[in-house]
Amino acid sequence: MIIYGVAFLALCTLAGLFIGELLGKLLGVPANVGGVGIAMLLLIFVGSYLHKRGLMSAKSEVGVEFWSAIYIPIVVAMAAQQNVLGALSGGPMAILAGVAAVVLGFAMVPVLDRLGQKKPVAVAAESLNPAQR
């Protein structure tokens, strides 16, 4: 059912926010560090795991897809709440962290592309013409 997909998303969100708060406390930052991002990663990885094993019905996936479609506006709204001016005036560390995250993201594109490529399928002997056998 669609409500199970939404419940699955809610569980991932709660787990991500909890991990983000815990990470913030471990780093000594009085804020949630990446909770929404962690929640989305959990949603992707756990959702993929459940889908591959046939444990998530098509209707449940519709609930997840609904919230995935409005994820971008949610992130934009959350970013609007951030104090960008305060982060920039906080020194070069904020700028360095942002640049490092972008560079690391770009560096991961070829790695993820190689991981996502499928190995070629062996050609069946019947498909070869007699001269190639």
48-106 pLDDT, tens per residue? 888 888 888 777 777 777 777 776 677 666 666 666 666 666 677 777 877 898 899 99
Looking at the fold, whether 71 and 18 belong to one and the same domain comes out as: yes
83 sits in the region (left: phi over 0; alpha: psi -120 to 50; else beta) called beta
Looking at the fold, whether 104 and 42 belong to one and the same domain comes out as: no
Looking at the fold, whether 4 and 50 belong to one and the same domain comes out as: yes
Number of H helices, E strands in the chain: 6, 0
For residue 124, is it within any domain? no
| Residue tagged 């050609």 (tokens) | 123
- Which pLDDT value is given to residue 38? 86
Looking at the fold, whether 63 and 37 belong to one and the same domain comes out as: yes
Looking at the fold, whether 75 and 113 belong to one and the same domain comes out as: no
Check whether 26 has a pLDDT greater than 70: yes
Q: How many domains does the chain have?
A: 2
For residue 131, is it within any domain? no
Closest CA to 62 of 9, 128, 23, 99: 9
Structural domain span for residue 94: 84-119
Looking at the fold, whether 73 and 28 belong to one and the same domain comes out as: yes
Looking at the fold, whether 52 and 88 belong to one and the same domain comes out as: no
* pLDDT-based confidence at residue 2 (cuts at 50, 70, 90): low
Q: Quote the CA–CA distance of 16 and 40 in Å, as a whole number.
A: 8
Q: Quote the CA–CA distance of 36 and 18 in Å, as a whole number.
A: 10
For residue 24, is it within any domain? yes
For residue 130, is it within any domain? no
Q: Quote the CA–CA distance of 101 and 93 in Å, as a whole number.
A: 12
Higher-scoring residue by pLDDT: 78, 110: 110
Looking at the fold, whether 50 and 113 belong to one and the same domain comes out as: no
